[in-house]
């Protein structure tokens, strides 16, 4: 195995917050060979360095932030991508976030492929990483500040030229789905922000001025031209340029795939009112450097009750969470909800889902006005929603319970509330109906990070790309899901943006060639080799979850998914527990895992070069006989 | 007259928005000799280039933005200062604003002492000035955006390294006291923002990378050390470092100098609740470069109903306007009001005064709830105030009338409302009671820009510095006011921050020496020479107002100032129309102006080297016989 270390730094930065030390370490070449970078390498360090059963909020939990070989290089759909992994306080399993702020670029240019955060600062702290120099500052006064102000004050402190990753008040209150905000982007799902808060780490500033090299820049340029040609010719790109991810809203609804009123239906009859509203509110298209897709949108509300509200977004998921999911058809109100979530630092998907859950409890009479601090939480009552967001972020009144997430809140509330918590593994489900798109939904059960749309996206069902698959059938969907998961694990290891791969511009061969040209790592000039990395990473992540207690019994949908969808294009569609079991069997089999437990087998792990993982699991009694 | 042109660029940039042209012009040395720079030079161009009686909102009105010789130089209390002048849509007279954002530094480094804005763009436009290169962009989509978003989007457009001056929705609606926002600072008083909007100019971005030189850098450094020593030893500096301008709140109240409930009293019995609250909310001290005073404060609300609100501020005036003036003793609510005013782009002083006016009309039954779109505008009802701010900014409902300012609104409302409009020359008065501090108040009548506290500040009365004067007496206050006005005209021409000059660190000799060392302009190494410039500038500004119709009859207080203060430390104090007349006589006499009209005489103008101004006034029939 020949490896020319272009496009990697070979170094990690270990920052211990307990004793305020920072040291550089070499990342062994053996690890690059196994995990390449990004999500794969980050997952390895988390696996290796955290003790089994670690409390997510304890100093022993770690956050591993990583760049990939392509991060920071002038390559379409790759430039800004970086990741962070930790143990989630929402799922108590593996938590991975991908982010497209410029923080990753700075990290790479500062000389680090990875940053490992460990320990816990004695008091609120900010950290400045300025190329090789790390300093620690007192963030006591910043504690409690919203994420927008925190980044502005950090800029006062550092001067220009830095990028930031910060938390808001929700993380400080240990809201279990609190985010890390970086610029206008975030580590959204799974509560990474709350982990950061538990370490008393309020903000990180980073500046890197190093130059990154490529093995064969001429070749990269040539292949990039082809990639740009493909992207530019794509209808999908045009839609993304126009509407960003919200371009799919109408299509998803028409597919009967859009959870409505807390999954009461999968079709929003009023969806057309908000389908393409983002166009009207967009004041500026933006995006990552070196990407013509330009999917970011700055939107502003210029009149009406929410005049003055703005955000960068909302993505499709947020549009769904604060639109369809809570029966709100005022796009301006979605913008305001997005802005508040960003400022407080809470995940829009989990938050919108939790709000919908609360609204259904209110509808069903399980929660009354007096339980809700007087809020009239009927469907679509957005002023009440804004109040509720604040209560969640600051853990005031009912917000203190809801800050635990729908699953834990339902247990506290009782009275049959659990029926309405639309969760898998304690995490709230995102904006696609598992009854209408079976493989895309099945990933919710089996993903290593819980029900997250982006980590095993069923493009074949939702977009009929790269090949067409009937979204309603069950046969073969276990296997298809495993493929999609492996594919995205490889993407996030390199790191490619998932949008490089989702629609009709899908050309994995080209991406593999670009990677090889940039890194000089010729071994990875074919897709097949890369898919092995994806599978290896997935198995490693699964091993982490198994170590933390995961078994087959955890992989099931809420009861509502067993009920037929009452109306809309997917009317009558539903899962059964038999189908669930059948697909789990099929999936575990496709993965080479044990059917009884859903645990990876020694054979599979060794086949993937993860003998050390198998040994460790065996020691813990978590390897199938 | 020898002049070494260090510290000036010698150039102005003329930007015509009608035909989208930009050209550089030389500023004649003769003009520097007369007006030095900053406010003086800007006033000259406004005088020279706008036709008499120009409509403030017409393309023929101009905005002249200027730097001073010291702008951008590494000199304490001078570095960031820049100014803008135009004809005010509030007073229909001269409008000057001083701002301490970095925009001025960039302007100077881009090579311009002045920028003249003329004409009107066909549609919303932004302008980028990148050193010598000027480009025009379509701001149609930005129109309607708040000032914070506008600056963020402009940064997306320009990339890093620029500074911005932008307007918000209030300016676009031609609210007569709309601001220009630049970073977190503003052109506050007189409606400069509305003029900018009338030109369809939404935003200006500027970057300058040139180097500025000084005649004698070693001498400057030596004198600066002395200045820093004086500043550092000062109690005033320590208070400013701790509390910014709000450090005076308690003192002003104890002097009975703090207008309370729309000037119903001059003492807020509950003032102690908010006197030093800014400390509690401060998360970051900041300030201009090269100034140890560091008077800026980022403040954040971290709990309670306004949690999440933040701003850079509030200054004393804002604290007063949304505190004492409307009987609100919740500092968190003041922060939120400040934030909203900044985002909408409205002057906190005029706005708070207008809100107080409206509250008093509500108290007196002149305006009822139904006149106020249902708002219960009782004293201190801050949620209603926030709604009202939005109505003013967007000219919704009652806000459309209030957007005209208290004076014009009172006329429209009728029913005796005029009695409660606390205005001079149609501009709302600031946060010092003219009955309690006579000279400081008398400036409200005679200032060239209307009742603005900072342009003729009566430091002798408020701070007993640089020498002590009894604030309650009337004798000699006309003459004292003329002195204070001239002094500050010189300050804002150089440009020094007024804080270099206000309190016990007052050492004008040192400042004059620093100026001479920086510029090489030895003639100005004494204070006396400079005071002549100040007087010259003041007379020029007065001439502008005379040309626009000003006479002695305009210089009077509202009736309430003739009533004795009912309580507090200044109980019983009041003006009479006789005293008003007596002081006007004394003031005009001290100024060498005509007593009957308040117009400058030919003799005075010629003595100040303004023969051309006298000639022009004579042509217009506005020179006293």
- What is the pLDDT at residue A387? 98
Mean pLDDT of chain B: 96
Pairing of strands B125-130, B201-207: parallel
CB contact under 8 A, A284 and B144: no
Interchain contact, A300 vs B390, CB within 8 Å: no
In terms of C-beta distances under 8 Å and separation of at least 24 residues, what long-range contacts does A237-243 make, across chains too?
A: A237/A292, A237/A293, A237/A505, A240/A293, A240/A294, A240/A295, A240/A499, A241/A285, A241/A292, A241/A293, A241/A294, A241/A295, A242/A279, A243/A276, A243/A278, A243/A279, A243/A297
Which member of A145, A302, A344 has the closest CB to residue B310? A145
- Rounded to an integer, the average pLDDT of B510-529 is 92
pLDDT at B251 over 60: yes
Q: What is the pLDDT of residue B1?
A: 40
Mutation to test the A interface, candidates B149, B172, B340, B388, most A Cβ within 10 Å? B149
**Alpha-carbon distance A427 to B528, whole Å?**
74
Give the residue among B385, B179, B101, B148 at the shortest CA–CA distance from A343.
B148
Which tens digit of pLDDT belongs to each residue from A357-408?
999 999 999 999 999 999 999 999 999 999 999 999 999 999 999 999 999 9
Looking only at the bridges linking them, the beta strands covering A114-118 and A125-130 are unpaired
pLDDT digits (tens, 9 = 90+) for B138-185: 999 999 999 999 999 999 999 989 999 999 999 999 999 999 999 999
**pLDDT per position as a tens digit, A140-166:** 999 999 999 999 999 999 998 999 999
**Residues in B touching A149 (Cβ below 8 Å):** 283, 298, 300, 310
Q: If DSSP codes are grouped into helix, strand and coil, which group holds residue B451? A: coil
Q: Is A559 exposed, middle or buried (0-12, 13-18, 19+ CB in 10 A)?
A: exposed
The Cβ-side half-sphere exposure at A180, using a 13 Å CA radius, reads 34
Share of chain A above pLDDT 90, in %: 94
Task: Please report the pLDDT score of residue B5 as a whole number.
Answer: 63
Read off the pLDDT band of A625 (50, 70, 90).
confident
Please indicate whether, in this complex, the C-beta atoms of A142 and B283 are within 8 angstroms of each other. yes
- Mean of the per-residue pLDDT values of chain A: 96
What is the mean pLDDT of the segment spanning A97-119?
A: 97
Q: What percent of chain B has pLDDT over 90?
A: 94
3-state secondary structure of A62: coil
Lowest mean pLDDT among A508-522, A565-579, B491-505: B491-505
Closest by CA position to B472, among listed B490, B489, B460, B454: B460
Comparing alpha-carbon positions, the chain A residue that sits nearest to B161 is A160
Residue B320 has a pLDDT of 98
Minimum CA–CA partner of B344 in chain A = A308
Model confidence at B283: pLDDT above 90: yes
Q: Look at B300 and A169 and tell me if their CB atoms are within 8 Å.
A: no
The residue among B302, B314, B321 whose CA lies nearest residue B338 is B314
- What is the mean pLDDT of the segment spanning A516-523? 92
Interface touch A169/B284, C-beta < 8 Å:
no
Question: Edge-to-edge strands of the sheet including B180-182?
Answer: B133-138, B125-130, B201-207, B163-166, B180-182, B185-187
Question: What ipTM score was computed for the predicted complex, to two decimals?
Answer: 0.95
| Chain B residues bordering chain A (beta-carbon distance below 8 Å) | 141-146, 149, 152-153, 156-157, 160-161, 169, 282-284, 286, 298, 300, 302-303, 307-308, 310, 340, 343-344, 390, 393-394
Spatial contact of B81 and B38, defined as CB atoms under 8 Å apart: yes
Q: State how far the alpha carbon of B175 is from the alpha carbons of A300, B120, B351, B568, in Å.
A: 20, 18, 10, 35
Instruction: Determine the pLDDT at residue A1.
Output: 40
- B394–chain A nearest CA distance, Å: 8
Whether pLDDT at A5 is above 90: no
Q: Taking CA B40 as the corner, what is the angle to CA B34 and CA B43, rounded to the nearest 5 degrees?
A: 115
Query: CB B169 to CB A141 under 8 A?
Result: no
* pLDDT surpasses 80 at A4: no
Q: Which domains does chain A have, with CATH numbers?
A: 11-207 (3.60.9.10), 240-428 (1.10.569.10), 438-619 (1.10.599.10)
**Sequence-separated (6 or more) residues with CB below 8 Å from residue A477:** A438, A439, A442, A583, A586
Lowest mean pLDDT among A497-501, B12-16, B418-422: A497-501
pLDDT tier at B507 (50, 70, 90 boundaries)?
confident
Radius of gyration of chain A (CA): 23
Q: What is the pTM of this model?
A: 0.97
A47 in Cβ contact with A34 (< 8 Å): no
Q: How far is it, in rounded angstroms, from Cα A467 to Cα A375?
A: 47
The pLDDT tens digits of the residues spanning B426-457 come to 999 999 999 999 999 999 999 999 999 999 99
| From A149, A161, A310, residue closest to B145, measured CB to CB | A310
Q: Work out the minimum CA distance from A283 to partner chain B, whole angstroms.
A: 5
pLDDT band at A2 (very low <50, low <70, confident <90, very high): very low
Alpha carbons within 13 A on the beta-carbon side of B201: 32
The answer for residues whose C-beta is within 8 angstroms of residue A547's C-beta and 6 or more apart is A47, A52, A616, A617, A620, A622
A309: closest chain B residue by CA: B146
- Flag if A142 and B310 touch (Cβ within 8 Å): no
Please state the rounded mean pLDDT for residues A247-255.
98
CA distance A427 to A177: 9
pLDDT at A180: 98
Question: Which of B144, B284, B298 is nearest residue A302 as measured by Cβ atoms?
Answer: B144
- Which tokens is B353 given? 């005064």
Report the gap between the CA of A438 and the closest CA in chain B (Å).
Answer: 40
**Structural contact between residues B557 and B423, judged by C-beta atoms closer than 8 angstroms:** no
Of B479, B384, B445, B413, nearest in space to B575 by CA? B445
Asked if pLDDT for residue B269 goes beyond 90, the answer is yes
Instruction: Give the residue, A499 or A583, on which the prediction is more confident.
Output: A583
* Helix, strand or coil, per DSSP, at residue A82: strand
In this predicted structure, the answer to whether residue A104 has a pLDDT above a threshold of 70 is yes
Contact state of B153 with A302 under an 8 Å Cβ cutoff: no
Tokens read off for B450: 């209307």
Instruction: Please tell me which of the candidates B143, B284, B340 has its beta carbon nearest to residue A141.
Output: B284
- The answer to whether B157 contacts A284, with C-beta atoms less than 8 Å apart, is yes
- Assess whether pLDDT exceeds 50 at residue B388: yes
Nearest Cα of chain A lies from the Cα of B137 at a distance, in angstroms, of 13
SS3 B329: coil
The Cα B31–Cα B43 span in angstroms is: 11
To 5 degrees, how large is the angle CA B222–CA B223–CA B225? Answer: 70
């Amino acid at each position: 195995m020949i490896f020319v270390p272009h496009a990697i730094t070979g170094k990690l930065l270990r920052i211990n917050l307990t004793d305020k030390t920072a040291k550089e370490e070499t990342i062994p070449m053996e690890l690059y060979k196994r995990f390449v970078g990004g999500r794969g390498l980050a997952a390895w360090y988390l696996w290796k360095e955290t003790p089994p059963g670690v409390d997510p909020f304890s100093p022993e939990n770690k956050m591993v932030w990583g760049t990939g070989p392509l991060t920071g290089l002038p390559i379409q759909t790759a430039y800004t991508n970086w990741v962070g992994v930790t143990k989630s306080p929402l799922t108590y399993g593996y938590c991975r976030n991908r982010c497209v702020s410029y923080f990753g670029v700075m990290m790479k240019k500062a000389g680090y492929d990875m940053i490992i955060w460990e320990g816990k600062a004695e008091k609120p702290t900010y950290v400045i990483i300025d190329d090789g120099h790390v300093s620690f500052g007192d963030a006591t006064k910043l504690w409690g500040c919203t994420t927008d102000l925190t980044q502005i004050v950090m800029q006062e402190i550092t001067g220009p030229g830095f990028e930031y990753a910060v938390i808001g008040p929700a993380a400080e209150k240990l809201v279990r789905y609190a985010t890390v905000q970086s610029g206008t982007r975030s580590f959204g799902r799974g509560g990474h922000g709350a982990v950061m808060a538990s370490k008393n780490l309020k903000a990180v500033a980073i500046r890197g001025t190093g130059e990154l090299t490529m093995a064969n820049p001429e070749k990269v340029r040539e292949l990039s031209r082809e990639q740009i040609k493909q992207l530019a010719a794509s209808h999908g790109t045009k839609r993304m340029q126009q509407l960003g991810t919200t371009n799919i809203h109408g299509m998803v609804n028409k597919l009967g795939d859009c959870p409505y009123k807390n999954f009461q239906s999968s079709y929003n009859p009023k969806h057309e009112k908000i389908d393409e509203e983002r166009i009207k509110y967009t004041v500026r298209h933006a995006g990552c450097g070196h990407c013509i897709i330009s999917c970011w949108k700055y939107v502003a509300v210029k009149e009406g009750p929410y005049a003055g509200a703005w955000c960068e977004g909302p993505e499709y998921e947020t549009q769904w969470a604060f639109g369809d999911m809570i029966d709100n058809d005022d796009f301006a109100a979605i913008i305001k909800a997005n802005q508040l979530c960003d400022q407080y630092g809470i995940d829009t998907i989990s938050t919108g889902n939790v709000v919908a859950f609360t609204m259904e409890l209110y509808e069903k009479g399980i929660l009354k006005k007096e339980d809700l601090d007087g809020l009239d939480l009927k469907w679509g009552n957005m002023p009440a929603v804004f109040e509720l967001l604040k209560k969640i972020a600051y853990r005031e009144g009912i917000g203190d319970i809801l800050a635990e997430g729908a699953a834990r809140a339902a247990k506290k509330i009782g009275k049959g509330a659990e029926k309405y918590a639309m969760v898998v593994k304690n995490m709230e489900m995102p904006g696609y109906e598992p009854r209408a798109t079976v493989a895309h939904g099945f990933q919710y059960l089996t993903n290593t990070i819980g029900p997250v749309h982006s980590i095993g996206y069923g493009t074949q069902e939702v977009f009929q790309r790269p090949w067409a698959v009937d979204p309603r059938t069950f046969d073969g969907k276990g296997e298809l899901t495993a493929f999609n998961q492996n594919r995205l694990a490889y993407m996030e290891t390199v790191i490619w943006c998932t949008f490089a791969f989702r629609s009709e511009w899908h050309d994995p061969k080209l991406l593999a060639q670009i990677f090889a040209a940039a890194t000089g790592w010729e071994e990875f000039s074919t897709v097949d080799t890369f898919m092995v990395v994806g599978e290896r990473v997935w198995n490693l992540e699964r091993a982490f979850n198994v170590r933390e207690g995961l078994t087959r019994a955890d992989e099931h949908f809420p009861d509502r998914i067993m009920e037929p969808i009452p109306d809309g294009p997917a009317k009558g569609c539903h899962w059964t527990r038999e189908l669930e079991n059948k697909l789990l069997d099929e999936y575990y089999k496709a993965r080479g895992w044990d059917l009884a437990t859903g645990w990876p087998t020694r054979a599979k792990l060794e086949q993937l070069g993860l003998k050390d993982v198998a040994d460790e699991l065996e020691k813990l009694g978590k390897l199938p006989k």
